[in-house]
Structure 1
Amino acid sequence: MAKQDAAELTVDRGVARPEKKDYQHQRRMVLYVRRFLRRPSAVAGVIILLILTFFALFGSKLSKWNYVDLDFTALASPPSAEHWMGTTSGGSDLYAMVIRGLGRSMAIGFLSSVLTMILAALIGTAISFFEGWFEKVGMWILDMLLVIPSFLIVAMLVRSASGTSGWLMLVGGLTVLGWVGDARVIRTLTMSLRELDYVRAAKFMGVGSFTIIWRHLVPNLGSVLVINTVLGVVSSINSETSLSFLGLGIKPPDTSLGTLLTEGGGVSVTAPWVLIFPSLVLILLTFSVQLIGDGIRDAIDPYSRSVGKAE
């Protein structure tokens, strides 16, 4: 009996065997996970991030105080059994405020980073894929967008928002104005992918352009997209913190880590805990994401020696 092609799906006694390419893909993912787990700093980053995520989701249930509650009998009170992290000068429980700010900063950072990378991937690959006048016009638009003061525009958009909707406006501003740099990098990487045989074959067979971009080009940029998305979380959190610190980001009654840092900066001498605790949480958050990003980069890079051999 002739041997079947290894890439075809075969059936033996009613049990379906997966295609070879699927098996190779699964084996590659297992290899990435193993290499990632070999790096202690990356594992520590995951543990820290999971702890912070737990507190952001369920930390408010551990205390009887809400972030909008005021205790006028304890103004600028130091940490105690009643107020675990102390209170602000207005009587707000700092623990409840930090938990709320942590959740808000994490939501802004992760959501804006993912949306930014999706937008950059689609536009960057499209500009490179269509070539010709479309590529020239697309690159001209990217160059023009680079000179736009995105920080000021985002500040104006968020300043015009009211109430708790300000964080959504901030996510939208960071997404719409933050994809340009990543799109240029992705466009450069796509220039080599568009010349591959399977892309040319898909064009010849009449496969739609969007289908080629979404199903063939973008997945082959997966490692770059994952790394940039993870590292983009740090950039988004820093942008949100900077805007809130300047009073141009999240506004009361809502709060974020940047807002707390602004309040803590004004009372750093009389009530240092108002500055210390939000600063520590912000450092842990950005540090853990940075460690995870470095671990993913080394796990995907076959030439990295920090996680051992690729086998």
Structure 2
Amino acid sequence: MIVLRNRRSAAGLVLLTLLVLLVSAGPLVSPWRWDETDFAAFGAGPSAGHWLGTTQSGRDVFAVTLRGARTSLLIGLAVAVISTGVAAVVGTVAGYAGGRLDRALMWGVDLLLVLPPFLIVVLLAPRLDGGAPVLVPLLAAFMWMITARTVRAMTASLRGREYVLAARFLGVGAPRVIVRHVLPQLASLLVVDAGLNVSVAIVAEGGLSYLGLGVRPPDVSLGTLIADGQGAAAACPWPFGFAAGLLVVIVLAVNLLGDGLRDVLDPASEGAR
């Protein structure tokens, strides 16, 4: 398996697999639901009844943090898939078509690159008031431009290859040439880009949710849990500490996997030597 050829990618895969298992199976073994309140334990410490204690509102820290981690992971994966998909489509179409279409698409990319993404998301998120369903496309809308330019340049160079020219001379349509002959050559770039975008999206979502602009109640994410727990972190550190620690571990696992894949798929990279 290609992921196991590199220590970092193997470590990232193992760690990410364990996190997914924890987020998936943890709620099944927890005695409490994430939205259930224990009115006899507000801000209680870890115990047999509450393995990691309770929040100031009486919710089980273990259950609610796993719910928040699942939300953050799903948002990160959705943003990464959408942003990398848009970059692949725009980049390959611009690089393969060339001419006016290429110039028009790259003009749009350059325009988006000069816009301040964080400021725009901060301004739009409160007005849309849609939580995660709105946050995902907003984050994805500002994470694909750099990759699209790279894909466009690589596609333009592939357009002159013999097998691409042969397919075009045989009358094969542009969409089929792109899917069968161009995209396979870009697969390594797109896989690594998608992996790294997961961690970027998770951190961005956490920051926005921390500011109250991301995931909205009654749902939770790691960002909202960190924001809720920081005020009482000195007296009741478990809600804040577990959420913050889990966020760090998730980002570390994704970055290890992405860096390792880059080294394996790009033999010229420093990590592969």
Same fold (TM over 0.5): yes
Aligned counterpart for 1:120 among listed residues 87, 100, 121: 87
Name the CA distance, whole Å, in 2 between partners of 1:161 and 1:56.
29
Which has the higher Rg, Structure 1 or Structure 2?
1
From 227, 235, 240, give the equivalent of 1:262. 227
Determine which of 161, 167, 184 is the counterpart of 1:202: 167
1:168-222 Cα distance to aligned partner (Å, 9 max, x none) = 2211222233222211121122221111112222222221112222221111101
Letter of the structure 2 residue corresponding to residue 270 of structure 1: A
Q: Does 1:86 align with 2:53?
A: yes
**Distance across 1 between alignment mates of 2:128 and 2:272:** 46
Letter aligned with residue 225 of structure 2: L
Is 1:252 matched up with 2:217? Answer: yes
- Structure 1 residue 280, shift from structure 2 partner: 1.0
| 1:53 aligned partner | 20
Partner of 1:221, secondary structure, is helix
Contact 1:79–1:85 at 8 Å: present in 2 too? yes
Within a 5 Å distance, the mapping from 1:102-251 to structure 2 comes to 102-160=69-127, 166-251=131-216
Q: By how many angstroms is 1:88 displaced?
A: 1.1
Which amino acid letter does the alignment assign opposite residue 265 of structure 1? Q
Q: What amino acid is aligned across from residue 122 of structure 1 in structure 2?
A: V
Distance 2:64 2:28 in 1: 13
Q: In 2, distance between residues paired with 1:182 and 1:253?
A: 35
CA contact (8 A) 1:155 1:249 kept: no
User: Deviation digits for residues 268-287 of structure 1, max 9, x if unmatched?
Assistant: 21211121111111111111
Cα deviation, residue 303, structure 1: 3.7
Between the aligned partners of 1:94 and 1:306, the Cα distance in structure 2 is: 39
CA RMSD, aligned part only? 1.8
SS at match of 1:178: coil
Structure-2 change in CA distance of 1:281 and 1:217 (3 Å): same
Kept in 1, the 8 Å contact 2:45–2:53? The answer is: yes
Q: Does 1:62 find its partner at 2:23?
A: no
Q: What is the CA-CA distance between 1:149 and the residue it aligns to?
A: 3.0
Partner of 1:273: 238
SS of the residue corresponding to residue 251 of structure 1 reads: coil
Secondary structure of 1:200's counterpart equals helix
Contact 2:266 2:272 survives alignment (8 Å)? no
- Give the Cα–Cα distance (whole angstroms) in 2 for the partners of residues 234 and 133 of structure 1: 35
Q: 2:270 aligned with 1:289, yes or no?
A: no
**Aligned runs of 1:5-84 on 2, under 5 Å?**
33=2, 36-84=3-51
Q: CA deviation at 1:37?
A: 2.1
- 5+ residue gaps, structure 2, are none
How far, CA to CA, are the matches of 2:103 and 2:146 in structure 1? 16
For normalisation by structure 1, the TM-score amounts to: 0.82
Aligned pair in 2 of structure 1 residues 65, 101: CA closer, same or farther (>3 Å)?
A: same
**Displacement, 1:224?**
0.6
Contact preservation (8 Å) 1:105, 1:237? yes
Larger helix proportion of the pair: 2
Structure 1 unaligned residues grouped into runs of 5+: 1-29
TM-score w.r.t. structure 2 length? 0.93
CA drift of 1:74 comes to 1.0
> How many Å apart are 1:306 and its aligned residue?
4.9
Q: For 1:284-304, what per-residue CA distance to the aligned partner results, in whole angstroms no more than 9, with x for missing partners? A: 111111111121112122245
Provide the aligned length of Structure 1 versus Structure 2: 273
Judge which range, 242-251 or 42-51, deviates more. Answer: 42-51
Q: Deviations over 1:3-52 (max 9, x none)?
A: xxxxxxxxxxxxxxxxxxxxxxxxxxx5xx2xx42433332221111111
What CA distance in whole angstroms lies between the structure 2 residues aligned with 1:141 and 1:196?
27
Structure 1 contact 122–218 (Cα < 8 Å) conserved: no
